[in-house]
Amino acid sequence: MHELIKNAKKENRSLLETEAKLLLRDYNISIPTFKLIRKKEEVKNAIHCLGYPLVMKIISPDIIHKSEAGGVKIGIENEKSALWAFQEIMRSVKKYNNSARIHGIIACKMIPQSIEIIVGMMKDPHFGPVIMFGLGGIFVELLKDVSFRVLPIKEKDAEDMISEIKGYKILQGIRGETKKDIKAIKELLIKISQLSMENPEITEIDLNPVFVFENGLKVIDARMIL
């Protein structure tokens, strides 16, 4: 059992966002560089190597909807704003749920907006682990433009998952947009398949959003349920 999963199970909780991202990194999946800040005095040193603008988010197993709890600040442009954001997030979250277990605040540099995709894994009662892929945002929320496969998958399965959604043309580049890195998406799907099969304690994975660029991609937000 992976050490991150073992530690979470000891505390009877799912993986924190920081832990989920570290697990992704172990599988060579690209994530933004981040720092976990546990107290105000750590802010200056933590953000020094990240650059601006920053995003800061609460890390707590008891806060699912971070924005609703006031646990997210974006567009932070300097050290003074980062200190304010840290204190404001802590104040808002404690007001929202005074008994919430707080592990700190994650800070990372904002990644330029690009085409969003979503990748997920869930345990189906009949088929077992199933992987899901689709374009993010309105495409998944309203149009339900997604594809599914039973795990494990091979390269051909990943290729078919990508090409069979209606939004595939967007990834190929339309109306002057550059073609997105479909090979990187394929590799992400295969790696999530491997991660899921090698860590059966994980019952659900939600990577949303994942920004896909002309070269490469970044998993911006990650959630893993044990």
Q: Which domains does the chain have, with CATH numbers?
A: 33-109 (3.30.1490.20), 115-225 (3.30.470.20)
Are the beta carbons of 68 and 30 closer than 8 angstroms? no
Residue 84 vs residues 27, 38, 56, 103, 201: alpha-carbon distances, Å: 35, 14, 11, 18, 38
The pLDDT value recorded for residue 32 is 95
At 57 the pLDDT is 97
Per-residue model confidence (pLDDT) at position 124: 92
Establish whether the linkage from the previous residue to 209 is cis, with ω within 30° of 0: yes
Q: What is residue 64's predicted lDDT score, i.e. its pLDDT?
A: 86
Q: Residue 61: what residue type? A: P
The single residue listed with the structure tokens 């603008």 is 53
pTM for the complete prediction?
A: 0.92
Tell me the two tokens of residue 32.
């933004």
pLDDT at residue 194, as a whole number: 98
Q: What pLDDT score was predicted for residue 175?
A: 73
Rounded (10°) CA dihedral 136, 183, 17, 197: 110
List the chain pLDDT tens, one digit each, 226 residues: 899 999 999 999 999 999 999 999 999 999 999 999 999 999 999 898 898 999 999 999 999 889 999 999 999 999 999 999 999 999 999 999 999 999 999 999 999 989 999 999 999 999 999 999 999 877 677 778 899 999 999 999 999 999 999 889 889 887 777 899 999 999 999 999 999 999 999 999 999 999 999 999 999 999 999 9
- Alpha carbon distance 166, 189 (integer Å): 18
Q: Which is it for the CA torsion 102, 103, 104, 107, positive or negative? A: negative
